[in-house]
Structure 1
């Protein structure tokens, strides 16, 4: 864990919280006149995680100087090179706790773009100081953390957004409208698939002794995760495939793909989950499941109860190159989904196919698109010229708590819990009790209490244990 010298106590995190939360005051533009922007009309933004996806999130939020970038933080100096060049006046830190402690008076909002295992502690620390937060997907590493962040957003009255940018897209809104208008009848099954992983999964724990690069603070990089020796196999982007750090193919793309049916079908807590996973053969009849990394492929069946006037529905997830059966309604030369995956809704009156973010929604057979009158979206489109996903959040931060964002935590939290239910099943799959593998049966879920009710061994994946020195205090 980090040394005492650079550790920052939680007491320091929350001191002067009321001052920090109330320090953001907007001088209306009309006071200065047309074309002038008051300094206080700019949002002061800090970035926890300054590279990778932050290379997209931070510039979009900064919006060519329409806002201020007031602080940067990254545990790997190599990842922060571009951001530090773009904003040389922004103070740079390695420890987000030190940044929040020293810069909280200069920060209105925080964008978190770090490995999944650090999202929850970083977001909660910022919210407890009254800072609005934008957190990359998946929102958290485990189900319990997602529930806590959902509750924290309401408690601390901050504006939130998860980084599943498709939720601000026109296609998501069109699919939601078409499904709820009954174009394909009552939906009973949804298939969702992705080409991920595009990083190594289903592999053994790496070995060997390596020097830690001088640019990397390995203790801070590990953060909440169990200690292990540094290995270049874990970073910068390959952490997604390791269970201690990432959420695998499902965590990477599930919040994008599953978001569409989650909204369209008004899904809430599932009632059960089951899965099958790919393995590695090291010899004749020698099947190996490497539990330190996610499997190379998986198929996950998640069941939801009836909602409002909608019947029960089953959502089936496929990754690692697996796809559902090709619909008979598609002609031989018509593409099934897109290169990176797809979504297929099956209803009592037809089928609807779409790509990532609900792109190119298409009724099947495709000839229907020429004859069916498609209803106009009943959900407002996001203005791409002035907003988009990141800047929509920025504008909402200026309006204050209660302002609309496409993926606020009251939506993103339950969505993330559903996505992570799949990982709970995957990680439970090979737990053995006696001569049985209880994790390979259907696991029954009590969503309100966050518990698997028919296999206690699976519940350890609802809430993980943090390394000594780290905790989620709420």
Structure 2
């Protein structure tokens, strides 16, 4: 598989220096030149964890580590939105942040992740980042520079340049990393790879992947009207590096993902799950071109209501080239002839079309891949290859990551940055194709497309003046 090298020297120096300056604390530039190594975890000791972003996915992320020592929690809103869907009958609905305060009363609470990392530097071993997409990079970057292991939600970053920089510093420090595409720790993705590598499905030249997302608003024609900032919400910290815009409940909470300033749209959200089996199992590496084939609900401020994106991947050794087509917003490929007449394609899933057999999985995480039709699967099953790829206990990516930390083995976590960075780059290029609306070629080594307007989106932009001298 292709493993990305650092950016070209000019772009790398410019980007990494800007990122370091933006963190706004003394010593960051020195750390950037000489990042720290992680602290070894003593035998029998708990890992001291901090969570950045607690109100949404961060709640389940840190609860997955409740048997470790949770020492700090950081969120922009310590009031939060009550969650009636996770409330027992007769109980008053509580927000996720309120639940975490009750569950971890001794964990110190912050609204600024920089202040948290500085004040508790010697008390933190590892950090989970579960913020909106545009603010994945900076907290992870700072934590890695300080020698902290990181678990970062998908998509790993909003841009290609951010992803590649995280890989560079992770390699320098030797921290253990993991992206939160949990299906990568599961059984299904391993079956697909074993079947393909053993020649069960033959040569694959076509892959189709689709999702019913977005289930949040997209295609909005303009930015929403300004509203007063709710009490307790640090809106400036939500914006982070993004342009200065007024608060709106149509952005926060939850609806930020559809806006280009904060999210990556349906493709960025779900491709890290749905494309994972094909990307890993077929050893796809970097695409040679990406093209927007269809768009519905185009917008200057948001991702569209639906789209189709086509990736072209080159031949890899003895493997043929692959066309991978992404469908979103309810769009799907045609029903394959191999699927039984009484079955329809699921709301989301994938078809990996081989010369000997087609693999179909009708869920988001490749939980149950099957050869279609079902009768062919039953016929072929006795000759399936042995399970040679190591399995993750309970398919738990969080435990896989903490086990890697204890062992001091960064490669032991399956979606570590050596894998998840090139995968993230591929996902980001799909979102980029939607934004520019044209086909472009991709040179992964030079980190350059064939379109100047696409190249401008390979790196993030930063809000002027967001360089506070004080962290409080």
What's the TM-score bracket when you normalise by the shorter of the two chains?
0.7 to 0.9
1:131 matched to 2:148? The reply is: yes
* Cα 1:167–1:158 shift into 2, 3 Å: same
Q: How has the CA–CA distance of structure 1 residues 106 and 364 changed in structure 2, closer, same or farther, with 3 Å as cutoff?
A: same
Q: Which residue of 1 aligns with 2:354?
A: 347
1:358 maps to 2:366: yes
| Mapped pair 1:450 → 2:447 | yes
Contact 1:144 1:463 in 2 (8 A): yes
In the alignment, which residue of structure 1 is the partner of 2:185?
A: 168
Q: In structure 2, do the counterparts of structure 1 residues 371 and 274 end up closer, same or farther at CA, with 3 Å as the change threshold?
A: same
Q: Report the equivalent of 1:383.
A: 393
Distance apart, 1:376 and its partner CA: 2.4
Matching of residue 402 in structure 1 with residue 410 in structure 2 = yes
Contact 1:13 1:100 survives alignment (8 Å): no
- Per the TM alignment, residue 464 of structure 1 is displaced from its structure 2 partner at its CA by 2.3
Distance across 1 between alignment mates of 2:191 and 2:27: 46
> In structure 2, which of residues 209, 225, 230 is the aligned counterpart of residue 208 of structure 1?
225
Helix, strand or coil at the partner of 1:234: coil
2:460 paired residue among 454, 464, 470: 464
Aligned to 1:47: 51
Pair 180,205 (structure 1): closer, same or farther in 2 beyond 3 Å = same
Distance 2:38 2:205 in 1: 48
2: CA distance between counterparts of 1:214 and 1:424? 36
Q: Secondary structure at the match of 2:137?
A: helix
Match of 1:297 in 2: 306
In structure 1, the residue matched to 2:234 is: 217
Q: Aligned with 2:410: secondary structure? A: coil
Contact 1:13 1:129 (C-alpha < 8 Å) held by counterparts: no
CA distance in 1, matches of 2:24, 2:60: 31
Question: Which position in structure 2 is the counterpart of 1:266?
Answer: 283
Q: CA deviation at 1:350?
A: 2.4
TM-score, normalised via structure 2 length: 0.86
Secondary structure of 1:232's partner? coil
Number of residue pairs aligned between Structure 1 and Structure 2: 426
CA deviation map 1:14-60 (0-9, x unaligned): 7899997454440x34xxxxxxxxxxx10000001112111111011
Q: Structure 2: any 5+ residue segments left out of the alignment?
A: 1-21, 81-96, 468-472
SS in structure 1 opposite 2:73? strand
Question: Would the aligned equivalents of 1:330 and 1:365 in 2 still touch at CA under 8 Å?
Answer: yes
1:110 is paired with a residue whose SS is: strand
CA distance in 1, matches of 2:78, 2:370: 45
Contact 2:410–2:416 under 8 Å retained in 1: no
Q: CA RMSD in A?
A: 2.0
Cα distance in 2, alignment partners of residues 318 and 279 from structure 1: 12
Query: What is the CA–CA distance in structure 1 between the aligned matches of 2:261 and 2:143, rounded to whole Å?
Result: 23
Q: Using the alignment, how far apart are the partners of 2:187 and 2:38 within structure 1?
A: 35
Which residue pairs with 1:284 in the alignment?
none
Q: Decide whether the 8 Å contact of 1:133 with 1:161 is kept in 2.
A: yes
Query: What is the CA-CA distance between 1:279 and the residue it aligns to?
Result: 3.1
User: What are the within-5 Å matches in structure 2 for residues 411-430 of structure 1?
Assistant: 411-429=419-437
**TM-score normalised according to structure 1 size:** 0.86
CA contact (8 A) 2:38 2:149 kept: no
Instruction: Give me the whole-angstrom Cα distance separating, in 1, the residues matched to 2:293 and 2:232.
Output: 40
Aligned-partner Cα distance in 2 for 1:394–1:12:
28
Q: CA deviation digits over 1:75-119, x for unaligned, max 9?
A: 122342221111111110000000001001000000000000011
